[in-house]
Structure 1
Amino acid sequence: MKERVLEAYSKLAKDYEFHTDSDSGANAYYERPAMLELLPSDLSGLHVLDAGCAAGWYTEQFITRGAVVSAIDLSPDMVQAAKRRVGDQADIRVHDLSEPLPYDADKFDLILSSLTLHYIEDWDPLFREFQRVLKPGGTFLFSVHHPFMDFTVFERPDYFARELLVDRWTKKEAGSVEVTFFRRPLQEIVNMTSKWFVLDRLIEPRPVPEFMERLPESADFYQRILHRPHFLIMKAHKPE
């Protein structure tokens, strides 16, 4: 699975670097605004981990808000794109989230993982690591595919199964790319989060109006995500 994800996102790196910030309705005008609403505008002096940083959009947002930022991604191509974006203003490195995190305990005030965790089958060791490196009282914020969306779009027979799905994306730079990820039921997402953290909020975001102003050609997709959840956001914290 890791090799398939790495291959896909190495191909997608240029699209994330040059197009996603303005051309992707799912990212720019749906997931990202909802995630940013859950963060303080001032992160001055706080230590933040961007877990699955891709081309560094969130990394840059954290820097702008004054944070001390560490960022990791499985793809060397994504890491290079993130470094081109922010230079030496953040500690950005290649790292596989299925391996122990290269950080001391109680290091971070905030861990954010954007649309990354559905590429990992077993969350238990990863959440244990996130809990280890997060300070007491620190925030864990992540987004994933909504399990109902994947269940209905892919017409799966068993909602309660954790299963590997295969999708195909068409992008400007990469062309057609096969993307694989895991779908799991909502109760597994909630229960795993609650096992290691205190769950604060569960959010099913809706697109911002700017979506249609910028991407009128994507009206069908806008209407789908306006009325049916596409992503799921979880906000939690480590107990004091």
Structure 2
Amino acid sequence: MKWEEFIRITANMPVIETQILLAGISNPAPDKVQISRWQKSGKLIQVRRGVYLLAQTYRKSEFYEPYLAGLLKRPSYISLEKALEHHGLIPEAVMVYTSVTTKRPGRFLSPVGTFDYRHIKDSLFWGYNSVTVNRQTAFFASPEKALLDLFYLKRVPASLEYLQELRIQNAGKIDLGKLVTYAERFQKPGIMEFVGILEKHVSSSAHKEKTL
């Protein structure tokens, strides 16, 4: 495959998956070698094996980083601090895309970002919604599930001090009824204690925000 043909096929693809691109080709080995050469020459950016982006010069369609996070490991959804940032619940910019998956945990370091994956059991893989940007669909934990995933997966302390360190803002976005319902589904000792402290903190924060 020549570069001109490759560009014609992929220019409008935000993310290039070689498994899909080369499907149906009886002998894809020469094309894989050529793709590797283009990557080494800077025409392609390798995110991980088999997943590439066109260099900015050749790209007609911008990729959506949350979509890329979901593509690198399926099934998965973005959660923990990155989801809290997405919902506007914490002020800090979170550079690492942390996702939850039922598959093996892992981390991908790439030129376009760091993608971290935490394992969760099948029975707790829920509480997320889809977001579509430029025809690229990503999945984010709801505010309530992101907070519970944070406590469950990072084993953070059930303390007011920790919640104050998070600097939760826009607390009105958190549905306290849903938070309790979700917490009960975890059936984990300590999580209801965390929720109790979180409820008080959220209620207090929401009241302060209304009076400002």
TM-score using structure 2 length = 0.24
Structure with higher Rg: it is: 2
* Greater relative contact order, per chain length (Cα 8 Å cut-off, separation 6+): 1
**Normalising by structure 1, what TM-score?**
0.22
